[in-house]
Amino acid sequence: MNSASPTYINVNGRLLDLSTPVVMGILNVTPDSFYSQSRMQTEAAIAERAKQILDEGATIIDLGAYSSRPNAEHISPEEEMNRLRTALTVINKNHPDAIVSIDTFRASVAEECVTTYGAAIINDIAAGEMDAEMFETVARLNVPYIMMHMQGTPQDMQREPHYDNLLKEVFLYFAEKIDKLRSLGLNDLILDPGFGFGKTVEHNYQLMMHMEEFRLFELPLLVGISRKSMITRLLDITPQEALNGTTILNTISLMKGANILRVHDVKEAVEAVRITTKLMNSKAY
């Protein structure tokens, strides 16, 4: 399922072993995320969702305050940080040992979340493309950095995504960024192929089919396909009806080498990890 050697990242001074896949639970403090049940805005709702994520077995809470759905409203850095500040205060009070990832493409937001609130990981949908200061900032902060492939921006990424050679272009994108980040001294890097970001349904399934080829980078791989359009459009269903499809694709992702599953539904993803890990570790008679 994954490489034989353990894959570790340093989170707040502790080594997190990703050779056995882990689950990242989504906590959105936005009014307009595409999946309505993931939106949490009151302090009570944030506290309840954080507790649910951890109780159901997630290793990481991924906290986002900027909706990255297609045609999402663009909010200011100040508004994004105000939302995050409230949520981080609640999480730190109730779960001081939780590993929190910040879903942001803004260097200033990343810096405040890490230095003031102890966030452990930065999860950047733009891989530095939407803020020229991001790479130098995360390198200076020396925190694990998740970089995602996206063609365009959340406001225009799904208008007419086009690739001459999908896999080649995604791989070159990552190769250039890995080289730049390593030159800055940052080694804890995680790749996210960016399912649903600047890609058609067909592009998404092509990426999924070839996902094991990402192993050539020898870096942990995050997959985020939870309730996305590659499921809903194919099956002609709503995000609310897409749990079964999500679990199927999460299981395929695990068998193709995913180290982190970013999900809305933690319990089901944790079960997929346990079953898939058992299967892949079973010895032949």
Sheet of 60-64: strand order equals 189-192, 145-148, 121-124, 99-103, 60-64, 22-28, 260-263, 222-223
- Whose tokens are 């990552």? That residue is 174
Q: In the chain, what are the helix, strand and coil shares in percent, each to the nearest 5?
A: 45, 15, 40
Is residue 267 flagged as an active site residue?
no
Which listed residue (177, 228, 233, 274) is catalytic? Answer: 228
Cα–Cα dist 106/30, whole Å: 16
Quick one: tokens of 19?
């050779």
Model confidence pLDDT, tens digit, residues 6-61:
589 999 999 999 999 999 999 999 875 544 554 557 899 999 999 999 999 999 99
Q: How far is CA 110 from the centre of its chain?
A: 15
Task: Provide the whole-model pTM.
Answer: 0.92
Q: How far apart are CA 201 and CA 206, in angstroms?
A: 9
What residues contact residue 131 under an 8 Å CB cut-off, 6+ apart? 105, 106, 107
Burial class (CB in 10 A: 0-12, 13-18, 19+), 138: buried
Give the containing element (helix H, strand E) for 180.
helix 166-183
Helical spans, DSSP H, in 95-133:
107-117
Instruction: Name the token pair of 150.
Output: 């996206």
- Going by the DSSP 8-state scheme, the letter that residue 39 receives in this structure is B
Residue 149, sorted as left (phi over 0), alpha (psi -120 to 50) or beta, turns out to be: beta
Instruction: Give the C-alpha distances (Å, rounded to integers) separating 283 from 19, 105, 212, 226, 279.
Output: 18, 43, 22, 31, 9
Q: What is the dihedral of CA 178, 183, 184, 189, to 10 degrees?
A: 30
- Told to judge if 262 belongs to the known catalytic residues of this protein, a careful annotator would answer yes
Pairing of strands 189-192, 145-148: parallel
222-223 vs 189-192, strand pairing mode: unpaired
Contact 229, 259 (CB under 8 A): no
Would you kindly state where each structural domain of the chain is located, as residue ranges? 8-279
Residue 60 to residues 24, 34, 166, 212, 240, Cα–Cα distance (Å): 5, 21, 30, 23, 23
Which member of 262, 267, 274, 283 is catalytic?
262
CATH topology of domain 8-279: TIM Barrel (3.20.20)
pLDDT tens digit at each of 285 positions of the chain:
444 445 899 999 999 999 999 999 999 998 755 445 545 578 999 999 999 999 999 999 999 998 776 666 778 999 999 999 999 999 999 999 999 999 999 999 999 999 999 999 999 999 999 999 999 999 999 999 999 999 866 655 566 678 999 999 999 999 999 999 999 999 999 999 999 998 999 999 999 999 999 999 999 999 999 999 999 999 999 999 999 999 999 999 999 999 999 999 999 999 999 999 999 998 766
